[in-house]
Chain A
Amino acid sequence: MSWKRYIGSGLMYAFLVAVTAPVVLLYALLFITSFSTNVVGLMPQGITLKFWRIVLSGEIKVPGAGGYYYYPNLYLVMGNTFLLAITVAVSEVILSSLAGYALSRFKFRGRPQLLGLILVLHSFPGVALLIALFYILNMMGLYDTLVGVIIIKIALDLPLDVWIMKGFFDGIPWDLEMSALIDGCNRIQTWWKVLLPTVRNGLMAVLIFGFLSGWSEFIYILTFISSQKYWTLSMLIYALKSSEYMYVSPALTAAAAIIYMIPVIIFFLTAQKYLLRIQIAAKGVV
């Protein structure tokens, strides 16, 4: 009986390690590549810091047919990425905590319909909207601007964020608010002074999730940005990858990719439990 159990659990561990290995190996590969002139398997052939130096200098250029080919400055690209992520995150927190409160606490005509609309929109596939968004951005003169991408990103994330925040407000007992209202606060003051501090967890969830989703955004940049000066890190990595067969060394791309991964890694190491909860919420099991 007992030896059978040992074999059983041994097999389970073996399988688990085998299927998980590719994940670990891929990130090891990224790390090793950034320090190597060439890699065979996972073994670096020649350690170098040259590519880290190039990337950190910000000026990424590669020799091309007629002289050097320049990529946009890394720090400009990082700035764009950060601007996009932080604007998206902060706007989503403000807007969703306002609307979530209204939907949780106000009685008004059309409320059930509005809630239904938000739920339906939330599950609407983003790819089906891209062409119409392209049209709208053009009409508004927002094509090829970061503002346009930011607005779209917020609008498309918002139904879910509102839904999450509504859930958090729903969980607060009415008594708390009643006493504030009786003490003479109006609804806006009540929301600001009494309710917001109690839904801190929800606000943090929306903020972190909004930041990471803005930081990683790729499709909207690829689709709605054509000037290099508005590139974000995802676009830079994509461009470096695409020209790799010519002159860009993988080590250069790897170093830039590691810099790109920093917020993700910080988040992975510090806030994992949180992440699981957000993941579940984000995928609509709310």
Chain B
Amino acid sequence: MPKRGLRVTALWFFLVPSLALIMTFFFLPVVLTVLISFTDMTQTFEWHWVGVQNYINIITDPWMPKIFKNTIFYVFTTLVCFNVGLALIISLITTHINEKVGAAFRALWLLPRITPSTVYVLLWLWATRDKSSLFNWLLSFMGIPPANWALSRPWLLVILINGFVGVSFGMIIFTAALKSISRDLIWAAKVDGASTWQQIRYVELPLIKWPLLFVTAYQTLSLLTSYEYILIATDGGPGFYDTEVWALHVWHLGFKQYGGMLHLGYGSALAVFLVIMGVVLSVIYLKIFRFKELMVEPKIEV
């Protein structure tokens, strides 16, 4: 057996490189964000302490109610319609049809997720621009007049863009859960004369209750902090803060000049607030849904 000194050397060899990086560029920024949130720092990086002024500003900022409402609307709608809703429907359908066909459809739904964000958003913008662009052109056959969605239906566009990416996570988890349901239960239901709908409603859905709650909780948190696709698609526009959500506002305050200044202090306070919202939400979820029971790895691969 190696001696103690050698053992410590080995431990350092394994651990220090990662630890140094994580501490400097991950842990330190967490601490710095909190500190900066008590200053009115701008791009000159001067530490000028202002106490809790930034936090007071959040409450009194006339634009914050609108941004807060936008955030809730965006998270809730995308979650219900796509990340949970459509994800569940797609996994139910693809597990009830021919297995290979189902798998092929599920594979297609991964494309939006793995496509680089700039390309993916660009495609949506191209398809929804003027009367000869793809989706307007198709909808015109149903009598829907063409429009530039980014200008006249910005929320629809933002939610579709994020929703089509968001489906895959829930789809993977739900499909794994559905496939791991014991065949005996399904056959028992079939022998008793259950229709496909009854089989889904009374056998399968109750059995995937926990994955459903897990996806809901997890995706609420990731939608809350997502902003990349909105930044590329509408950049919070088309009007003043029309589709600006909390996370995007943090980015705008930090990296887009308002009146020739970067508001690093105020932005940090908003970031801290965002983290607190996230932590509170996850504590609630932990309490209600007993997260640990949900953290079991899917047994069957999609």
Contact = CB atoms under 8 A, between A and B. Distances in A.
Contact of A186 (B2, B107, B122, B172): B2
Interface string A25-54: 111011001000011111000000000000
Given A99-B19, A126-B225, A151 B268 contact: no
Contact of B21 (A5, A26, A95, A118): A95
Interface residues of A, number: 96
B144 interface: no
Interface string B194-219: 01110000000000000000100010
Contacts of A20: 105, 108-109
Given A132-B29, A260-B119, A125 B19 contact: no
B18 interface: yes
Interface in B267-302: 267-268, 271-272, 274-275, 278, 282, 295, 297-298, 301-302
Contact of A131 (B36, B122, B172, B195): B36
A272 interface: yes
A131 B14 contact: no
B1 interface: yes
Contact of A134 (B160, B231, B264): B264
Given A155-B21, A241-B122, A130 B278 contact: no
Contacts, number: 266
15 contacts: A30-B119, A95-B21, A99-B18, A99-B19, A103-B15, A121-B26, A125-B278, A127-B250, A129-B33, A134-B264, A136-B29, A219-B228, A267-B114, A272-B110, A285-B214
Interface of B: 1-2, 6-7, 10-11, 13-15, 17-19, 21-22, 24-30, 32-33, 36, 41, 45, 86, 89-90, 93-94, 96-97, 105, 107-119, 122-127, 132, 134-135, 137-138, 160, 164, 168-169, 172-173, 176, 195-197, 214, 218, 221, 224-225, 227-228, 231-232, 247, 250-251, 254-255, 264, 267-268, 271-272, 274-275, 278, 282, 295, 297-298, 301-302
